[in-house]
Structure 1
Amino acid sequence: MKTKSMHDTQNYVIAIVFILLLVVLSSVAPQFRTTRNMLSMLRQTSFVGIMAVGATFVILSGGIDLSVGSMLALSGMICARLLRQFGVDAYTAVFLTLLAGALMGYLNGVLVNKLGIPPFIVTFSTMGIFRGLVFLMAFRELGYIQNVPLTDNVFLAIGGGRIGKVYNPIVFFVVVAILGILYLRNSKFGTYVYAVGSNEQSAAMSGVNVERVRTQVYVLSGICAALSGILWTSRLMTTTTEMGLGNELDVIAAIVVGGTSIMGGRGSVGKTVVGALFIGTLTNGLSMLGVPAFYQPLAKALLIVSAAYLDNYLLKRYTEQSRRHLIAVKSSRDETPVLTGERTTFDPSEIALDIQGISKRFGEIQVLKNVSLKIAKGEVHALVGENGAGKSTLIKIMTGVHQKNAGQILLHGKPVTIKNPHHAQSLGISAVFQELSLIPSLSVAKNILLGREPHSLPGIIHHAKLRQRAEAVLQELKFNLPLHELSERLSVGNKQEVEIAKAFSQDASIVILDEPTASLSAEEKIKLFDTIRKLSAKGVSILFISHILDEVLEISHTVTVLRNGEIVTTSPAEDLDKAAIVRYMVGRELAEQKIAPAEKGAPVLEVNGLTREGSFADISFSLCRGEILGLTGLVGSGRSELARAIFGLDAVDAGDIWLHQQPVQISSPAAAMKHGIAFLSEDRKNEGLVMIHSMMQNISMAHLGAVSTHGILHRAQELTLAREYVNMVDIRPPDPHLPVSGLSGGNQQKVVLSKWLCRNPQVLIVDEPTVGIDVGAKHEIYNILHGLAEQGVAILLISSDFAEILRMSQRILTMRHGRIVLRNDAARDQISQETLMKAAIGRGES
């Protein structure tokens, strides 16, 4: 299901239900379809619709506004007081009331953004505050609350007049809706709203002022609520304390029923307009059918739940289809050349970036100690070190994410204080971080130029220029990506390409690449290295961070090694080899890994003809007790999809799975776990760990039954269990109470391993277990896997690292385009990385 078809399906369902509602109401209540009733219904809908347009911006940004009804009432009361008591003319009263609405929205925005209070709490509170002010302003005399009658004809014509037969509020609603649609679609602000709602951190890293955007959406919501209050007051020729009461539910219903996600980042003003018409029609119809008013909120609430369920259902279906049809650019070459190329030359005396004595402390933990580093103009400078050595902290200081505690940074010889990521970009420093940070709901082109969109008018995006600039960047990089495709539809490798294109598009003089090849195929790596060499030749300085030492030695001029937050050495790349770099990184020699013993037991897991349309087809193999079976192939070959299917995460279309020579049905992870299967996903942070929880909570998560009685946890037993596995796999620091978010990648992977090991699995599926971790941690992970195999655990090792597969596996399967194309069951000494590569790219034997 393509993105557009998902949205179309949602639109079709809403349209069909809406039409059915109109048909039913027209049939059972003939007066419903009269022109007079239709116009009256549209007028009443307009008040909610205008508020909903403003609130849509709030929800798209990831917030919520429960105070819209109270802002409407308070705005109406302010306007009435200005006209009646202060004798202000109609136009001035309207302007001041809109300004009051903006200030109310600004208050919400400040409380949310400056004080960090959740939007639900803030707007729930201000809903009561604003409503209280309405009652306060309604007191004519102590103890009495009266309506304020209005007689200004100019003001009364605003909400009570007509253009032809059409009531003025309808005209205002149409105008507001059109402006909202155009502004959200074509303005930089609209793009930033989607960006903040989809991925706040990524938006900030792209130079978007998140606080400003999230404040502005509340101001916009306040203005729209104030406009509705003005129109309503004008139409009634008075104001009451009950105005807008309960409209919060109507506004949220209009937005959600229209198809905008309550979670933010997906939806549109056009959808909200349809939702408002739907809610207005339902309200009008129920009234005509004689349904008591106190039952109407129930109907609206049921409608909200149904719409939210539809949105969630379609999103799940879309995600499933996306997994089956990932966009992965395939090379047209038959053979992939090796990663070779001459280094460019540079002048070491022309220093672009000079880091002097940088230190950084988080609480009592010293992360960086007196770090000094120089990068010359046009130099490719590699920074390596174990996880936790301080690399990420150093580059975050360089990009303004963190502030240093000591030391200074000189850029082209001038001292600078890098205040934030946007400031870093303005200084010519660009970065591609290890954690992908694209905006899922934005296109490839908009992601590449996020925060730097060309405009035709102030604040209005020039889409043609945006596409041209994005296309020029991709052509320069030789990346073949669809500009219009949403980034959420891309494969991991293609997302990495977009991240790289985004960094290179900023015309930076210094580019930081943090593990840029982690998810790229061999062909994509060659393109990247070619681009790095071209940039180096043009005088761009590159800081290259990678755990793949072959790449480090191939592409870099200079290598700096960090260990425990300190610089160990800075040496020319030609003076180093892998063994020397490893010694500097870990401070010791690492023993050579040995292939697991060839002896294996009876089959534990057997897969016969397993097929999932669009992902893999006719997969058959067996996995024996005590065996490590390697499964390899390029990104997008179907390896990870196969693992997910065996673990019950994704349904299969054909084939069967046998455990211990008995057929089993695995329809969910719970079923897989019941049968003794464990799965380490390639995405440990999103699918393997709960990042805000402690090591103890993560380790015990899959085995809570063993540390609880009748659903009540025994914390002492949970702690004992966690300590046992923390010590067993040597997690550092060895404190089970520490949150896993603060651990290095290698230690996070050990926590995931521990989570499954405490269940004593019979089958262990590990998908890319060493991606993004250093050589020392890899060595430890390898030892753990060897030890498990010796204990009789059957291990399916999935990896795109051919050297790793050859080092660890007894037998090897190679996949291409969803099928097994090469089986290596014997003659292991005759298998090489070249053999596996040729099979993976289409030149192996099937």
Structure 2
Amino acid sequence: MNTAAGALECVDIRKGFAGVPVLKGITLTLEPGTVTALAGENGAGKSTLMKIASGQYRADSGSVSVAGEHLPVGNPQAANQLGVAIVPQELASIPDMSVYENLFIGRELRRGGFLRRRAMKSEARAMLAKFGLDISPDLQMGSLSVGVRQIIEIAKATTRGAKVLLLDEPTSAIAEKEVARLAAVVRQLRAEGVALLFTTHKMEEIRAMSDRVIVLRDGNLVADSPIGDVTDDDIVRAMIGRELEDLFPEIHPHGNEVLLEATDLRVGDRAPVNLTVRRGEILGLAGLVGAGRTELLETIFGMRARTSGVVTVSGSKVRAGNPAASIVAGMALVPEDRKGSGAVMGMSILDNTTLPRISAFSTAGWLHGRSRQQTAAEVMDSLRLRRRTLNQPVETLSGGNQQKVVLGRWLTGNVDVMLLDEPTRGVDVGARNEIYRIITDLAQSGMAVVMASSDMPEILSLTHRTLVMRDGGFAAELSREELSHPEIQDRIFRLASGQEAHSEKDLSK
């Protein structure tokens, strides 16, 4: 073994699918005890590179070596044996099995023909404790949060001797407190000499966790620098290949006409709330994980039953617990989980676009092919959806373009109220800019927009007014002027966590 070699070396890696090149000659080296961020827009080739490095995909050409030893192409078992492990975005844990069973799957401790369950549980506790997890090894994996399951997968990989750990979008579906715990785990592994490579769309995580950043664009490696040598703007320019205009577009004044009103709306056993949203207004919902933002949006839209209260659109009452009635009234909901709830990934762009209003495009069960095609094309063109054809499956699109489909499917008919739940989660910076412009354009066209977001810059820059939620209720209402205050981020956290009460004086600003 060549001890002078890097922990992982990829040389001139090329890969294409169906004749379309995805990686165009990538060469990089990961050094032991370093953390490298792999940045790039969706579709740049990041996940493909990781899967080749971990033996899951076979490169068309090029080579991968681990600590100087050649990795046989397309051989994940060989990669594991050489010390390469990957924690994919879609976790590979088995939810119906216990924590200790997941940790020891494929390498169970046995005495004769019998499993040594007590010994496995004892070792599992020690493995978990190393990463600060104080949980029972008997718990079912499916009962745990995504963040905890993710760290268990990391524990499984590193206790099997992994010297190279690849993390694909590790923070895309976990809460803020779990991001902090993951960052601590990353620092611990770096100190132990593990080489880590992770992908993320969040600039603050690149800067906080990495020693170095590598940027892919259109299958090419376009930047490779120590993190201290580049600015956020440098990284963004490398990702998108152009100067990014101001990320957040200007928001325009809103009208006075109330389009959405919720009066004494009770969600479950929580206290009733009241809100109004005017034509052209973007209302933000801020708060910590579990504050009740998603539940409120789903109740307004009728996906959840109200305990009590009234919802009106343009002065007309909307039937409770009935999404179809909400759609007829002019409401639309873009959910947080676009893959699970927003779009049917295996269906085409065309079918997804016309699905919510299929009756408008059919007669006696027969679809109007031409009008469907024309309407879908007009809507997707207006959103600048990058596609080969309307018959392309949504799952083949980048995250930003998938989100455009989820947004655009509602624009085939009348919408007065748009409810957005985490509209840019898992979307790269270039596509975020486009989605922000879509949101402000919708408001300027006269819609009332309600946007729940955990991304503080979105709340501060895109909303006319923001409600801070805590325990299902409103802890504060912040005006545009208050949202522009230099200390507002800290204040929102204190309001959301109950450390500060909002005064009547503040509400009148």
Q: Does 1:735 align with 2:389?
A: yes
1:648 pairs with 2:302: yes
Distance 1:514 1:631 in 2: 29
Offset of residue 350 of structure 1: 4.9
Q: 1:418 to 1:612 in 2, by over 3 A?
A: farther
Q: Does 1:403 align with 2:403?
A: no
Matches of 2:77 and 2:120 in 1, distance apart? 20
CA gap 1:741/1:619 in 2 versus in 1, 3 angstroms: same
Q: 2:507 corresponds to which residue?
A: none
Equivalent residue runs for 1:374-773 within 5 Å: 374-458=29-113, 460-481=114-135, 483-592=137-246, 593-613=248-268, 616-773=270-427
User: What does 1:128-139 align with in structure 2 at a 5 Å threshold?
Assistant: none
Distance 1:617 1:442 in 2: 38
Partner of 1:76: none
- Deviation, 1:448, is 4.0
Q: Using the alignment, how far apart are the partners of 2:218 and 2:166 within structure 1? A: 21
CA distance in 1, matches of 2:390, 2:93: 32
Separation (CA, whole Å) in 1 of partners of 2:410 and 2:135: 38
Q: CA deviation at 1:635?
A: 2.1
**For 1:634 and 1:409, how far apart are their aligned partners in 2?**
42
Counterpart selection for 2:22 from 367, 374, 379: 367
Paired AA for residue 833 in structure 1: Q
- The C-alpha deviation readout for 1:450-504, integer Å capped at 9, x for no partner, is 434333444x443323333333233222235454443333444444444444444
Question: What is the alpha-carbon distance in structure 1 between the residues aligned to residue 105 and residue 498 of structure 2?
Answer: 37
RMSD between aligned residues: 2.2
**C-alpha contact (below 8 Å) 1:553/1:577 kept by paired residues:** no
Change (3 A) 1:733 1:767: same
Q: Deviations over 1:318-369 (max 9, x none)?
A: xxxxxxxxxxxxxxxxxxxxxxxxxxxxxx9651000000011101210110
CA distance in 1, matches of 2:308, 2:150: 33
* Structure 1 residues 579 and 787: alpha-carbon distance in aligned structure 2, compared to 1, 3 A threshold: same
Larger radius of gyration: 1
What CA distance in whole angstroms lies between the structure 1 residues aligned with 2:256 and 2:216?
44
Partner of 1:335: none
Residue in 2 aligned with 1:102? none
CA gap of 1:613–1:349, structure 2 versus 1, over 3 A, is farther
Residue matched to 2:435: 781
Is the contact between residue 376 and residue 412 of structure 2 (CA under 8 Å) also seen in structure 1? Answer: no
- Aligned pairs for 1:81-480 within 5 A: 350-458=5-113, 460-480=114-134
Given that 1:629 and 1:797 are in contact with CA atoms closer than 8 Å, whether structure 2 keeps it comes out as yes
User: Structure 1 residue 604: deviation in Å?
Assistant: 1.5
CA contact (8 A) 1:513 1:544 kept: yes
SS of residue matched to 1:724: helix
Q: Distance in 1 between matches of 2:45 and 2:322?
A: 39
- Aligned equivalents of 2:386, 2:476: Cα separation in 1: 39
Helix, strand or coil for the counterpart of 1:517?
coil
Aligned to 1:270: none
1:833 aligns with 2:489: yes
Alignment TM-score, normalising by the size of structure 1: 0.56
TM-score w.r.t. the length of structure 2 is 0.92
In the alignment, the residues of structure 1 paired with residue 188 and residue 323 of structure 2 have an alpha-carbon distance, to the nearest angstrom, of 47
Q: 1:658 to 1:556 in 2, by over 3 A?
A: same
CA distance in 1, matches of 2:324, 2:91: 29
Give aligned pairs, total. 497
Q: Percent identity?
A: 38
Q: In the alignment, residue 61 of structure 2 is paired with which amino acid? A: A
1:505 CA displacement: 4.3
Decide whether aligned partners of structure 1 residues 783 and 406 sit closer, same or farther in structure 2, where only a CA change above 3 A counts.
same
Letter in 1 for 2:70: P
In the other structure, the counterpart of 1:844 is 500
- The 3 A distance-change label for structure 1 pair 782 and 734 is farther
Greater mean deviation of Cα atoms: 374-383 or 832-841? 832-841
Q: 1:826 to 1:581 in 2, by over 3 A?
A: closer
Q: 5+ residue gaps in structure 2?
A: 503-509
Unaligned 5+ residue runs, structure 1?
Answer: 1-347
| Larger fraction in helix | 1
Q: Residue deviations 1:168-214, cap 9 Å, x none?
A: xxxxxxxxxxxxxxxxxxxxxxxxxxxxxxxxxxxxxxxxxxxxxxx
Q: Which is bigger in relative contact order (C-alpha 8 A, separation at least 6)?
A: 2
C-alpha distance in 2 between matches for 1:480 and 1:761: 48
**Cα distance 1:456–1:768, how it changes in 2: closer, same or farther (>3 A)?**
farther
Structure 2 contact 125–136 (Cα < 8 Å) conserved: no
Kindly indicate whether the alpha-carbon contact (under 8 Å) linking 2:306 and 2:320 is maintained by their aligned counterparts in 1: no
**Aligned mates of 1:431, 1:664 — CA distance in 2:** 48
The one-letter code sitting in structure 1 at the alignment partner of 2:406 is: V
1:17 is matched with none
